[in-house]
Amino acid sequence: MTLFNNKNLSPSQSDLVLLWILRGFALLTGIIVVLITAFLLLEALPVLQQVGWLRFVSDPSWHPVQGFYNLMPMLWGSLLVTLGAVILAAPLGIGSAIFCQYYAPPFFSGFYRQLINLLAGIPSVVYGFWGLVVLVPLIGKLQPPGTSLLAGIAILTLMILPTIALTAEASFSEVPTEYFQGAAALGISRWATIRSVVLPATKSGLFTGLILGTGRAIGETMAVLMVCGNVVQTPTSIFDPIRTLTANIALEMAYATGNHRSALFVSGLLLMVAIAILVAVAEGMSRRNIYG
Amino acid sequence: MGEKSKNQISLPTFIVWAIALSVTAVFCWILGDILWHGVGQLSWEFLTTEPRNAGREGGIAPILISTCLILAVCLAVSLPLSVGTAVLLAEFTTTESRFGRLVRRSLDVLAGVPSIVFGLFGNAFFSIKLGLGFSILSGGLTLACMVLPILIRSAEEGFRAVPTEYRLGAAALGLSRTTTLWKLLLPAATPGLVVGLVLGIGRAIAETAALIFTSGYVDRMPESLLDSGRSLSIHIFDLSMNVAGGDANAYASALVLLILLLLVNGMATWIAQFWLARRIKS
Query: What CATH number should be reported for the domain holding residue A286?
Result: 1.10.3720.10
Cβ–Cβ < 8 Å for A84, A149: yes
In a domain, A51, yes or no: no
Whether residue A157 has pLDDT greater than 70: yes
Q: Is residue B40 part of a domain?
A: no
Q: Is A137 exposed, middle or buried (0-12, 13-18, 19+ CB in 10 A)?
A: exposed
Q: What percent of chain B has pLDDT over 90?
A: 46
The count of domains in chain B is 1
Q: What is the CATH number of the domain that holds B145?
A: 1.10.3720.10
Given a cut of 50, is residue A237 above it in pLDDT?
yes
Domain that holds residue B113: 45-281
Residue A31 forms part of a structural domain: no
Q: How far is A186 from chain B (nearest CA, A)?
A: 19
Amino acid at A40: L
**How far apart are alpha carbons B110 and B123 in whole angstroms?**
17
pLDDT of residue B274 exceeding 80, the answer is: no
Residue B2 inside a domain? The answer is no
The verdict on residue A145 lying in a domain is yes
- Its domain, for residue A169, covers 62-291
Would you say residue B66 lies in a domain? yes
Angle between helices B61-87 and B232-241 (to 10 degrees): 130
Mean pLDDT, rounded, for A151-165: 95
List the single residue in A98, A118, A125 with the smallest CB-CB distance to B236.
A125
Q: What distance in Å separates residue B270's CA from the closest CA in chain A? A: 16
Chain B closest CA to A106's CA: distance in Å?
A: 14
Question: Which of B5, B78, B110, B113 is the best residue to mutate to test the A interface, defined by the most A CB atoms within 10 Å of its own CB?
Answer: B113
Q: Is residue A266 part of a domain?
A: yes
Residue B109 covered by a domain: yes
For residue B101, give every residue at least 6 positions away whose Cβ sits within 8 Å of its Cβ, in sequence order, or none.
Answer: B95
pLDDT-derived band at B280 (thresholds 50, 70, 90) equals low
**Residue B145 within a domain:** yes
Q: Do residues B90 and B196 touch, judged by C-beta distance below 8 A?
A: no
B71-93 pLDDT, tens digit each: 999 999 999 999 999 999 988 88
- pLDDT: is A136 or A65 the higher one? A136
Measured between beta carbons, the chain A residues lying within 8 angstroms of B233 are 123, 125, 222
Angle at B11 between CA B7 and CA B15, to 5 degrees: 115
Does residue B19 lie within any of the structural domains? no
Distance from CA of B81 to the nearest CA of A (A): 6
Number of domains observed in the structure of chain A: 1
Which of A9, A22, A27, A194 has the most B C-beta neighbours within 10 Å, making it the best mutation to test the interface with B?
A: A22
Q: Cα–Cα distances in Å, from A11 out to A3, A6, A15, B174, B185?
A: 12, 9, 6, 11, 18
Q: What is the pLDDT of residues A181-234, one digit of tens each?
A: 999 999 998 899 999 999 999 998 899 899 999 999 999 999 999 999 999 999
User: How many Cα atoms occupy the beta-carbon half-sphere of B159 within 13 Å?
Assistant: 25
Residue B85 counted as domain residue: yes
Residue predicted with more confidence, B149 or A11: B149
- A37 found inside a domain: no
The predicted pLDDT at position A225 comes to: 94
Question: For A4, which of B91, B113, B117 is closest by C-beta distance?
Answer: B91
| The three-state (H, E, C) secondary structure of A97-145, written as one string | HHHHHHHCCHHHHHHHHHHHHHHHHCCHHHHHHHHHHHHHHHHHHHCCC
A26-57 tens-digit pLDDT: 999 999 999 999 999 999 999 988 888 888 88
Residue B120 is nearest to which of A23, A40, A112, comparing CB atoms? Answer: A40
pLDDT recorded at residue B67? 94
Determine, yes or no, domain membership for A18: no
Q: DSSP character for B54? A: G
How confident is residue A11, by pLDDT bands cut at 50, 70 and 90? low
